[in-house]
Chain A
Amino acid sequence: MTASGIGAPVRRKEDQRFITGKGRYVDDFNRPGQAHAYFLRSPHAHATIRSIDAAAARAMPGVLGVFTGEDLAADKVGNLICGWMIHSKDGSPMKAGPHPALAQGKVRYVGDHVAVVVAESLAKARDAAEAITVEYDLLPAVVETAKAQGAATAVHEVAPDNVVFNWHLGDKGAVDSAFARAKHVTTLDLVNNRLVPNPIEPRAAIGEYDEAEEQFTLYTTSQNPHVARLVLSAFIGIAPENKLRVVAPDVGGGFGSKIFIYAEETVCVWAAKKVGRPVKWTSDRTEAFLADAHGRDHVTHAEMALDENGRILGLRVHTVANLGAYLSTFASSVPTYLYAPLLSGQYNIPAIYCEVDGVYTNTAPVDAYRGAGRPEATFVIERLVEVAARQTGQDPARFRRRNYIKSFPHQTPVIMNYDVGDYGASLDKALEAADYKHFPKRRRESARRGKLRGIGFSSYIEACGIAPSQAVGALGAGVGLWESAEVRVNPTGSIEVLTGSHSHGQGHETTFAQLVADRLGVPIESVNIVHGDTDKVQFGMGTYGSRSGAVGMSAIAKALDKVIAKGRKVAAYALEAGEGDIEFKDGRFSVAGTDRSLAFGEVALQAYIAHKFTGAELEPGLKEGAFYDPTNFTFPAGMHICELEVDPDTGHVTIERFTAVDDFGTIINPMIVEGQVHGGIAQGVGQALFEGAVYDAEGQLVTASFMDYRMPRAADLPSFEVGMTVTPCPSNPLGIKGCGEAGAIAAPAAVMNALTDALGHENIAMPATPLAVWRAAQRARQPQPIAAE
């Protein structure tokens, strides 16, 4: 390992601009002649629009245009799309209701887009929006996840019973027979609470139209600018791809919420041509709460069958997944193929059957949020395992170990073929780091102070990289999920790497450069990572699903191999040797067995001056590209252990220690990987103890600001104990599995297992706020039958 190569905790190259205030986020851009957009949003969860009168608004000073759904329709602007087809059990395709960027005839959630005002200033646009008169005929709102199916009112005509799909996976017969043989059955009813992603940078967009070139440009807070361009071009029909440039510069966090193609950027880029001026929109936090895609929101009934030796025989799961008022870009994949195939967890479970009913409600669209389906699956399996161990009187760690998958590859009954892992190793290391041995002593000590102490485990697994394009295509994906890279070596030996991945906090400018420095033996300072601009990078699928290391860097590695191969040819001419005699090591091409060699930079120069070979012999230049399509999902896995203390008098929960041992395969930069784990844990703890989006019975979002929606703060969390085990991933050239989502996937179950351990019963749901914990603690003082048992 060199100071800047693979495995080194290199300090981040991008930090210089961020710590000095020189970052360039979308809202920091201002285009010449720029106007401002303000969206008039529906104050009602469900209503028919009888009329919109914008005459007064149009006449106000500084107003450049007021547009509604009719204007979009007149311009043949297509609807927003959902890019993953799910088929119901009966073979019928999912019921995708129309999703116009501005409402056409109906509004379906509070925050739905009714009209846009474009004006000289944001204040003028806002003032004018207040002068728009909209007549609504109110309709009953469908709000609750569990009650949406068959509600009296339909959110979309295409789905009269509000069911988007009734989907299933697994072998029902095998599961029924496993349950018939069971010695013990553990049953749980679980709610996976609705979350708001809340990256600290709100979404923003600037649309621009160059009349001379007939060229659109969109600056947008995107995790995948090429996918945005593809959708805006091929489906929404803004412009052909060659006439639409999408730029996603520095992006202030995404967590999934910036994958999707939303109404606002669609309208901004379209309106730029309408008004002949650049059009800028920046979300405020309230709008972010109302209209960013939310996450999770499952209601689940789950059962686990055990034999007399405490081995898991089968798993039966029924989930209702709230998809909100419209199908967001990847909404349908999250509670289906990103969920049920993970229900096997780290365990050898012979039979699994899962049914998922996706439902419409009059709430914000629900789509991928950090972990996306996998946290929901982990919560189900890890709560079940913990409770099953408790009910059968077994130590939860030992119960898990007995049921762990121990030989690989392992084919689960739900699609996945786990390639490699060592779950026992992660467990051992985590138990040691968490000092599990002495937990009973700490519990007694807490009890002496009148406090309840609990410990909880979470053996999570995730499927990342997502995934071989053929495989996801067979599962309904509308796109391939490979990644691209181009390595441009300059004549002086400095290097630009163009990647289709997108960094919005992950540190790609550093880790990707580490790979290049490692492979080419060049200083990390001479490597620039270029991303986030469709005019620079030819194509790419972007960053989500912990895929940038496993897939994005594999593409770079493949391109680097080609650069070295070409360099070898150039060096052979320059050193007057046979190509087969050229070795490349530590940044030098040398003739084997001699002291004749050239540095990488010298070979680059030779490639460009082309004095030592003819054009017939070799093409000049040194630039190579690659597309890398993964051959399998990757399977990061690990063990997280939470230890907490409850004050039964106040309901206050203190997380005393949080231990994470993860197997991410090869680690490029441990400092950055640990940072990803920390952030994920914080979001997972947030889900367990604090966060929850709440709609009232009329569909009003009552948690629409940081005043009401409880984000985790520094004083809520301890410092984390983070450790690693390594089994390199066999399915990509670097052995990387991915690390971005682990914490958010593992932590909720670990926290809730610890909390229920402390309370002595299972009757508490997420978020376990102080009030909920206090009530549960009072219940614990007066024991009563537990519904789950």
Chain B
Amino acid sequence: MSSVSLTVNGKAVTAEIEPRTLLVQFLREHLRLTGTHVGCDTSQCGACVVHLDGEAVKACTVLAVQADGRQVTTIEGLAAGGDLHPMQAAFREHHGLQCGYCTPGMIMTAVDLVRRKGHALDETTIRHELEGNLCRCTGYHNIVKAIAAGATAMGQAPARQAAE
């Protein structure tokens, strides 16, 4: 067993875990943060994307022990207080989700995309940057629209971003 101490959604967490525990297993099974999903076993689908020290990672490809001493943000920790994060609000406003299963990973990826590429995202850039996320419901059409709108909204709400 290994001991890990990390911060998840702003809260300090310490646990004894098997060294082989994946970060996504740690989040889902130990912390019961079930918003982070598992959709494949080859790191293709992106349903498990979380932020590790502010950068998007696939939580199925990171060992929990690798997150020791670091900050993890999951979909449950994205909103500041009771308000939705602008990217969450954009997904709802633009119908960027249907069954909701890929959605947490899509939103976490999108927020990271804005961090890296800024608030004015064109369609080609968004589509290319979603290469690590699969959705079977939406045909991506409304996800692309939602991300463009969410990116713009994030630029208009700097306080929100700071909270993230």
Contact = CB atoms under 8 A, between A and B. Distances in A.
Nearest to B128: A715
Interface stretch (A136-144, A251-259, A596-604): A251-259
**For the complex, would chain B's binding face be called helix, strand, loop or mixed by DSSP majority?**
loop
Nearest to B130: A714
Nearest to B146: A19
Nearest to B33: A21
Nearest to A675: B95
A678 interface: yes
A715 B143 CA distance: 12
A21 B35 CA distance: 4
Interface in B126-146: 126-128, 130-131, 133-145
A715 B102 CA distance: 17
Contacts of B103: 18-19
Contacts of A679: 98, 136-139
A705 B127 contact: no
A251 B107 CA distance: 19
A671 B97 CA distance: 11
Contact of B101 (A200, A507, A712): A200
A202 B134 CA distance: 13
B34 A21 contact: yes
B79 interface: yes
B139 A682 contact: yes
Interface stretch (A22-30, A66-74, A341-349, A523-531): A22-30
Interface stretch (B62-70, B84-92, B153-161): B84-92
A58 interface: no
Contacts of A714: 126-128, 130-131, 133, 135, 140, 143-144
Interface string B10-37: 0000000000000000001000111111
Given A504-B99, A743-B139, A16 B92 contact: yes
Contact of A19 (B28, B74, B107, B140): B107
Contact of A507 (B47, B98, B135, B143): B98
A505 B39 contact: no
Given A20-B88, A201-B39, A719 B101 contact: no
Contacts of B84: 19-20
A788 to B, nearest CB: 31
Contacts of A23: 35, 100-101
B92 A22 contact: no
A753 B128 CA distance: 27
B126 A201 contact: no
Most chain A CB within 10 A, of B40, B42, B131, B144, is at B40
Contacts, number: 174
Given A21-B36, A713-B131, A719-B141, A284 B95 contact: no
Q: Looking at chain A's contact residues, is the secondary structure mostly helix, strand, loop, or mixed?
A: loop
A23 B75 CA distance: 11
A538 interface: no
A789 interface: no
B75 A505 contact: no
B93 A11 contact: yes
A101 B76 CA distance: 38
Nearest to B107: A19
A15 B40 contact: no
A505 B142 contact: no
A706 interface: yes
Given A252-B100, A285-B42, A12 B136 contact: no
A711 interface: yes
A506 interface: yes
B101 A252 contact: yes
Nearest to A706: B44
B101 A706 contact: no
Contacts of B138: 675, 678-679, 682
A200 B91 contact: no
B98 A711 contact: no
Interface string A702-738: 0001110001111101011000000000000000000
30 contacts: A11-B95, A15-B100, A16-B92, A18-B100, A19-B100, A21-B36, A21-B74, A22-B35, A28-B28, A198-B136, A200-B37, A200-B45, A200-B136, A201-B99, A202-B39, A250-B100, A252-B37, A505-B99, A505-B100, A671-B95, A675-B138, A675-B141, A705-B41, A706-B44, A711-B44, A712-B139, A714-B131, A714-B140, A715-B127, A720-B141
Interface of A: 11-12, 14-25, 27-28, 30, 198-202, 250-253, 255, 284-286, 504-507, 671-672, 674-675, 678-683, 705-707, 711-715, 717, 719-720, 743
Given A200-B37, A201-B101, A505-B99, 7 more contacts: A20-B75, A200-B102, A285-B39, A286-B41, A679-B98, A682-B139, A707-B42
